Copies of this chain bind each other. A is one copy, B any other.
Amino acid sequence: VFFGPRGREEFPNNTPFGTAPPDPVVAGDIAVAVTELDQMSTSVPVDQPWTASGADDWDRQTLDAWLRANTSGNAEFMAVTSAATEAIFGCEARELSLLYTLFYIAASGNEQNAGTFERNFNTAGGAQESRFVGGAQTIALQVAAQLGRRVVLNAPARRIAQSSSGVTVVTDGFSATAQRVIVAIPPTLAGRIDYDPPMPPLRDQLIQHMPQGTLMKFEAIYDTPFWRAQGLSGQAVSEIGPIKVTFDTSPADGSFGILMGFIGGHEARVWENRSADERRAAALQNLANYFGNEALNPREIVEFNWSSEVWNRGCPVAVLGPGTLIDFGTALRTPVGRIHWAGTETSTFWNGYMDGAVRSGERAAQEVLTAL
């Protein structure tokens, strides 16, 4: 479903347009923007985006400025770009460096396939296609099961001290000493650890330039996935928030129905401060606009705001503004003494995704194995 000031349209999600609405007012701009961004991204090396031949030019523009200069820039199209960046980055196009955006597109691929924006945002054949049976936490739980009692919970690292003989991680309750340590948390949290000796200036300032996006999930649970009977996939793209993008996150057996909506970027910053009742009413009205009035009466609502989580401080990924990659990018993965850096923001493929997080862990583990 595509929803905007001109009303509601249904469209299939298996055309070459993918998840993007083929509406005539916005489709031309979307096609131009996606095609050109994809094309530019092919010249961005995922391991050193700051060395791209266009890097100087691209890292001084915001995505917003580039979009306005290279499309009609009409209000409806810009509203659709908000729907996209709010869901994908938890921010607005004005906050994104064009170079970082191009890197993010290039990273939406792998060793065999060039990244494309379509691969990033599509359900059919794209990053949004699959969900985990048992939930995304399965990755962490299965890693933890292999590690067994070596996993210590409820022990936030407060301080990391290095010496010539080892590195000590200090928590509230105990300390652990090792030859090497891997820090695999959001950059803004890595910056809040007390390091001895202190981080080099470039590393500390990189972290200061990597705020987390702002993202809330709003899930409305129904007795049945009633939209399916109307032939709808449960996906919507809307110019009007708070919820501008939705997905069907019902259980595989369809025994009940869940509509999940993202409230991101500017919408999240506004709506996280309003009352739960107001937010709930506005969000359910969004769902009713897309899928009919049956959406107004869920049997349960689950909301989650990553910005209020002490160990996230935002989601889904760090947002890099103009000038960050080109001046600070070299500090992203460079170990500092005995400290190595992992986490999805350090990944060269599927940066910002769970796939990238796992990749980064494997890369950092290999660094440590090589060093020992």
Query: Within 8 Å of chain B (Cβ to Cβ): is A192?
Result: yes
Nearest opposing residue in chain B for A187, CB measure: B208
Taking the closest CB of chain B, its distance from the CB of A208, in whole angstroms, is 4
Residues of B within 8 A of A28 (CB): none
Q: A59-B94, A60-B94, A211-B208 are in contact. Are A307 and B201 (CB under 8 A)?
A: yes
Contact partner of A321 among B93, B201, B321, CB < 8 A? Answer: B321
Q: Can you add 4 more A-B contacts, CB < 8 Å, to A188-B191, A201-B214? A: A62-B65, A65-B65, A269-B327, A269-B328
| In the complex, chain A residues 53-89 whose Cβ is within 8 Å of any chain B Cβ | 59-62, 64-65
- Of the stretches A12-20, A141-149, A308-316, the one at the interface is A308-316
Check A269 against B202 for contact (C-beta < 8 Å): yes
Contact partner of A198 among B92, B198, B209, B308, CB < 8 A? Answer: B308
How far is A212 from B59 in the complex, measured between Cα atoms in Å?
A: 19
Residues of B within 8 A of A59 (CB): 94
Check A322 against B61 for contact (C-beta < 8 Å): no
Taking the closest CB of chain B, its distance from the CB of A128, in whole angstroms, is 25
What's the tally of chain A residues with a CB closer than 8 Å to chain B? 44
Residues of B within 8 A of A209 (CB): 211
Query: Within 8 Å of chain B (Cβ to Cβ): is A43?
Result: no
Residues of B within 8 A of A204 (CB): 307, 313
Query: Within 8 Å of chain B (Cβ to Cβ): is A231?
Result: no
Report A201-231 CB contacts with B as 1/0, cut-off 8 Å: 1101100111110100000000000000000
Query: Within 8 Å of chain B (Cβ to Cβ): is A367?
Result: no
Query: Within 8 Å of chain B (Cβ to Cβ): is A164?
Result: no
Check B205 against A313 for contact (C-beta < 8 Å): yes
Q: A65-B61, A208-B188, A208-B313 are in contact. Are A201 and B91 (CB under 8 A)?
A: no
Most buried by B among A200, A266, A323: A323
How far is A319 from B257 in the complex, measured between Cα atoms in Å?
A: 46
Nearest opposing residue in chain B for A272, CB measure: B201
Contact partner of A94 among B95, B211, B322, CB < 8 A? Answer: B322
Taking the closest CB of chain B, its distance from the CB of A228, in whole angstroms, is 34
Check A323 against B95 for contact (C-beta < 8 Å): yes
Query: Within 8 Å of chain B (Cβ to Cβ): is A154?
Result: no
Residues of B within 8 A of A130 (CB): none
Nearest opposing residue in chain B for A195, CB measure: B310
Contact partner of A191 among B192, B202, B269, B314, CB < 8 A? Answer: B192
Check B323 against A322 for contact (C-beta < 8 Å): no
Residue contacts A-B, CB under 8 angstroms, 11 given: A64-B322, A94-B322, A95-B323, A192-B194, A201-B214, A201-B308, A201-B314, A204-B307, A205-B314, A208-B211, A269-B328
